[in-house]
Structure 1
Amino acid sequence: MLDDVDRTLVRRWQAEPSLTVPELAVLAGLSPGQTARRLDRLAADGVIRGQVAVIDWAALGYPLRVSLRVTLDKTVPGTFDAFLAAARDVAEVLEIQTFLGRVDVRLALVARDLAHYQTLYRTRILSLPHIADIEALMDVAAVKADERLPL
């Protein structure tokens, strides 16, 4: 369970992930050593899983974002494992989620343009194993993309 100091550290770091340990220590009212130990404990406990760079794929020439909702043929043993292993090998697939319900898997992918997406879809996506049904949803706008919680 997080105490108030841990919540302060996580809240401040969520708001400004580029803060250094000494800067975070000042904001939390701790010494840098105390802050580092608490951050190490939070990481060891799995609360903090790491730091990431948020990439603007459009700035790198991949402005098209598509979500694919996939239903798998579950009559074949090993369907999920085979599909997921093959989907991981598609470089343009940025995220893979599995679900309970009619839709089994969601793939989030990027493409340079519609022609690139069409080629990717026909050559890489449709060749993934055990697809029973697939629905493509083209992203129009990201209205909210935030992993911060109000701590």
Structure 2
Amino acid sequence: MKDLDRIDRKILRSLQLDGRLTNTELADRIALSPTATAERVKRLTREGYIEGYGARLSPAKLGRTLLVFVEVKLDRTTPDVFDAFAKAVKTSDDVMECHMVAGGFDYLVKARVAGMDAYRTFLSDVILSLPGVRETHTYAVMEEVKTTGHLPV
């Protein structure tokens, strides 16, 4: 992959803020011809800088008002347990993110559910039934101070 120049960075910043920009609107914003802009966007996508496009949905409108983070400790830290856990967690629609971490526990799970009753069901039916789970600690979010998927470019 080549280094990003000033125009590539402007394209990435613009699309990150508004992925629905037309090629013409994007070209106007970055002061480049539509053809050259389209070629750069294709290259940035091909090289993996742009992974995709999507809409940000309202959790409140969709009845997913409770955001929780769950620390998960496994009973054994072997490749087969890690693989089984990772495979199983990917099947839950409630899990938004799951990260293997270094430190006092093995995984950090981010989930959105309808409320505390839904979380209790999620904990018992999903998290505690996952392969190798020994212990969990849950943190319910009281206020989202900053939520972004934007990366500095």
Q: TM-score, normalised by structure 2?
A: 0.90
* Aligned-residue RMSD, C-alpha: 1.5
Counterpart secondary structure, 2:58: coil
Classify 1:76/1:42 alpha carbon distance in 2 versus 1 (closer, same or farther; 3 Å): closer
Q: Structure 1 CA distance, aligned partners of 2:84 and 2:71? A: 17
Of residues 15, 19, 22, the one that matches 1:20 is: 22
SS state at 2:121 partner: helix
In structure 2, what residue type is equivalent to 1:81? D
Equivalent residue for 2:82?
80
AA paired with 2:36? Q
For 2:91 and 2:148, locate their aligned partners in 1 and report how far apart those are by CA, in whole Å: 27
Q: Which runs of 5+ in 1 are unaligned?
A: none
CA deviations 1:78-107 (Å, max 9, x no partner) are: 111101111112221111111122221111
Q: Which residue does the alignment assign to 2:10?
A: 8
Shift of 1:20: 1.0
Change (3 A) 1:150 1:86: closer
Structure 2: state its 5+ residue gaps.
Answer: none
Aligned to 1:129: 131
Q: Is the 8 A contact 2:71 2:108 kept in 1?
A: yes
| Alignment coverage as a number of residue pairs | 151
The offset of 1:75, in angstroms, is 4.9
Residue correspondence of structure 1 range 1-150 to structure 2 within 5 A: 1-150=3-152
Q: Alpha-carbon deviation of 1:76?
A: 4.8
Identity level (%): 35
